[in-house]
C-alpha cells in the first residue's frame, strides 16, 4: 500500500489526477471505476483542465461508477449520473456509450443489479478504481454491516450517510433512502485502487480502516487485503496514519 500525503485539498486533487491521467495515457482503453462526492471533484476539475490543454484523450476510456440513488433519473440534479456529467463527462471527449452508472429508475432492482455486474464483467473488470471514504468507513454505498456484500446490490442508507449527503439537497427529506452500489467484491477485483481522502473529520475513520482489524463493520478495512492500493490524502485526513508505520 502506498500512502501519498498532500499538503491540502488542491494538492491532493492534482496528485490523484496525475495517477488517473497516467492510467489513461498508459492504456487509452482503460476501464475507470469512478466515485462521486466532494472528495474527487477537484481531481475531475484537474483532468478537465489537462483535457483542455490537449494532454488527455478520453475517447476510448470506459467508465463504471460505483453507485446511484434509487428513484432518481439521470437528469435529476442530485443523481450521480448528473454529477458525473457536470463535473467530468460533458467537459471531455467521453463517448456516452462508454459511460456506465446504475439506472436509478430501473423497474426491477434485482435485474438492474445483475445487469450492472454483467456490465463490469463484460468490460473485463476495472483497471483503476477511484474511491472516497464515508465517515463511517463506507466505500461506495457499502455501509457497515455484519458481512461484506459481494456484488452490486440495493442498500438502505444509514442515517449518518443520509445526513452527510443532505447538504446537497434542499431538505433532508428529499435524500433517497436507498441506492444501488457495487459490492465489495466488485471493488476489490479492480487491478488498482486509488482512495482519495481529505479533511480532519476523516482522520479517525482512516485510522480505523487501515490500522484496525479487517471487518465489515468498517467496510474500507477490506482494502488492507488488496496489494495495489494507493491512498492520496491531505495531511489532516492522514494525521493518524502517519504515526503508524506498519501499513
Q: Which residues bind ligand F6R (CB under 6 A)?
A: 35-39, 66-67, 132-134, 138-140
Q: For ligand F6R, give the closer residue by CB, 13 or 23.
A: 13
Q: For ligand F6R, give the closer residue by CB, 56 or 196.
A: 196
Does 127 participate in catalysis according to the annotation? no
In the complex, the smallest distance separating the C-beta of residue 127 from ligand F6R, rounded to whole angstroms, is 18
Does 68 participate in catalysis according to the annotation? no
Q: Which residue minimizes CB distance to ligand F6R?
A: 132
Q: Identify the active-site residue in 10, 136, 204, 226.
A: 136
Q: For ligand F6R, give the closer residue by CB, 35 or 175.
A: 35
In the complex, the smallest distance separating the C-beta of residue 190 from ligand F6R, rounded to whole angstroms, is 13
**Three-class HEC string of the chain:** CEEEEECCHHHHHHHHHHHHHHHHHHCCCCEEEECCCCCCHHHHHHHHHHHHCCCCCCCCCEEEECEEECCCCCCCCCCHHHHHHHHCHHHCCCCHHHEECCCCCCCCHHHHHHHHHHHHHHCCCCCEEEECCCCCCCECCECCCCCCCCCCEEEECCHHHHHHHHHHCCCHHHCCCEEEECCHHHHHCCCEEEEEECCHHHHHHHHHHHHCCCECCEHHHHHHHCCCEEEEEECCCCCCCCCCCCC
In the complex, the smallest distance separating the C-beta of residue 142 from ligand F6R, rounded to whole angstroms, is 8
Does 143 participate in catalysis according to the annotation? yes
Q: For ligand F6R, give the closer residue by CB, 67 or 85.
A: 67
Q: Identify the active-site residue in 65, 138, 149, 208.
A: 138
In the complex, the smallest distance separating the C-beta of residue 153 from ligand F6R, rounded to whole angstroms, is 14
Residues classed as catalytic: 67, 136, 138, 143
Amino acid at each position: 500500500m502506498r500512502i501519498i500525503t498532500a499538503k491540502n485539498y488542491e494538492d491532493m486533487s492534482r496528485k490523484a489526477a496525475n495517477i488517473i491521467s497516467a492510467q489513461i495515457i498508459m492504456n487509452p482503453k482503460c476501464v475507470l471505476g469512478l466515485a462521486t462526492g466532494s472528495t474527487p471533484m477537484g481531481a475531475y476539475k484537474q483532468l478537465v483542465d489537462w483535457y483542455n490543454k490537449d494532454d488527455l484523450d478520453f475517447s476510448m476510456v470506459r467508465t463504471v461508477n460505483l453507485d446511484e440513488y434509487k428513484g432518481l433519473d439521470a437528469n435529476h440534479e442530485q443523481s450521480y449520473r448528473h454529477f458525473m456529467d457536470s463535473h467530468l463527462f460533458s467537459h471531455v471527449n467521453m463517448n456516452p456509450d462508454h459511460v456506465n452508472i446504475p439506472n436509478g429508475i430501473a423497474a426491477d432492482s434485482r435485474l438492474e443489479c445483475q445487469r450492472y455486474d454483467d456490465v463490469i464483467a463484460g468490460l473485463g473488470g476495472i483497471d483503476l478504481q477511484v474511491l472516497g471514504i464515508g465517515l463511517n468507513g463506507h466505500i461506495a454505498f457499502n455501509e457497515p454491516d455484519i458481512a461484506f456484500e459481494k456484488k452490486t446490490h440495493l442498500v438502505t442508507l444509514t442515517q449518518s450517510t443520509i445526513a452527510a449527503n443532505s447538504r446537497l439537497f434542499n431538505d433532508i427529506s428529499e435524500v433517497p433512502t436507498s441506492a444501488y452500489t457495487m459490492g465489495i467484491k466488485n471493488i476489490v477485483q479492480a487491478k488498482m485502487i486509488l482512495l482519495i481522502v481529505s479533511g480532519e473529520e476523516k482522520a479517525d475513520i482512516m485510522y480505523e480502516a487501515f490500522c484496525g482489524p479487517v471487518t465489515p463493520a468498517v467496510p474500507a478495512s477490506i482494502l488492507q487485503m488488496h496489494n495495489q492500493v494507493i491512498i492520496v490524502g491531505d495531511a489532516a485526513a492522514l494525521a493518524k496514519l502517519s504515526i503508524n508505520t506498519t501499513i
